[in-house]
Amino acid sequence: MICRGVRESMGARKKTEFGFSLLELLAVLSIMGLLTTLAVTSYFGAARGMARRGAVKHLANTLTLARQRACMDNARVSVVLYNEVSGIVDADLGGSKKAVIPSYVVCKEVGKISFIPPGNQYLIDEFNSLDTMFSTVALENASSYKGGFRLYNLTNTEGGFSFVYPWVVSSKDMISGRQSAYKPRTGPKEDVINAWCFEINRNVPVRAGGDVWRVGDSYGVEAAPVQTLPKLFEFKDLKEDEKRIQVLTFLPDGRALKRVTIAIAETSPPYKSTTVRVTKEGKVEYDSKW
């Protein structure tokens, strides 16, 4: 009787045991896939939002620091916006163009170009003692030297910058027989005008547009490392233009040379954009939500 009862109990238990059907498994997998998709989408959306806010805030902070630098140094300080060519062919452009990196840098104005000799290789500043700011000792093998620094054109929006040697040279007789910039035009011409000048390093490839300088153009050097926008963002006014630049200059009293609006846009859907504005008073305004 006991064995019979045990067998009956085991039989009843077997009849009540069951598993998941194929339809139920498919339903569970579908729900898990949907939740995973939502999680991934939310993650990338949050990452894109952080990139947007970071791009705007970093640029606004850079503008604010440039304004403070102008006040502290009692000098004109500019923020230069441009597209740096990476040298890598962008596959999204069908391999026909090189990829550009939207970049910006803080520059301290040093002076103005007063004369450019024929050949456009030397940039002379007769009003500054450049020999007290830069080295005057050139390397022996300067003809093959590829070093130097960027000299930014802060006046001409098509000038961009030139790569110059890290030393200055004497103008010697480059401006011989020309009226000195120090003397009135009615005065006699001088045979030799002693000044110092920058020499453009032709060993470094010229950026798109070439070296475009004019007499009277203000120039400056980097006062902080170059910064870039995050990937998939661009300066709306520059887009992929390799030649043009955008310059915003702060005066020693903190005011801006002119009112400027900088537009930042996405290069992929949903193609949102926003602006950073600088008033004539030098106030930096922007919307952190976009």
Other beta carbons within 10 Å of 222:
16
pLDDT at 180: 54
Which pLDDT does position 140 carry in this prediction? 83
Q: Over the chain, what is the mean pLDDT?
A: 83
Domain membership of residue 120 (yes or no) is yes
Please determine, for residue 80, whether its predicted confidence score (pLDDT) is greater than 90: yes
Structural contact between residues 140 and 228, judged by C-beta atoms closer than 8 angstroms:
no
**Mean pLDDT, to the nearest integer, of 22-37?**
78
Number of folded domains in the chain?
1
The answer to whether position 260 is within a domain reads yes
Read off the pLDDT of residues 133-172 as tens digits, 9 standing for 90 and up.
Answer: 999 999 888 888 988 999 999 998 877 899 999 999 998 7
Tell me: pLDDT of 68 over 90: yes
pLDDT of residue 235: 96
In a domain, 197, yes or no: yes
Confidence at 212, pLDDT banded by 50, 70, 90: confident
pTM for this prediction: 0.78
- Which region holds residue 95: left if phi is over 0, alpha if psi is between -120 and 50, else beta? left
pLDDT score at 33: 79
Residue 164 has a pLDDT of 95
Q: Does any domain span residue 263?
A: yes
Residue range(s) defining the domain that contains residue 254:
45-286
Q: Which segments within 42-194 are labelled E, that is strand?
A: 77-89, 98-112, 122-125, 149-153, 161-170
Spatial neighbors of 247 by CB under 8 A, at least 6 apart, are 78, 79, 80, 81, 154, 155, 157
Q: Does residue 93 surpass a pLDDT of 80? A: no
pLDDT tier, 41 (very low <50, low <70, confident <90, very high otherwise): low
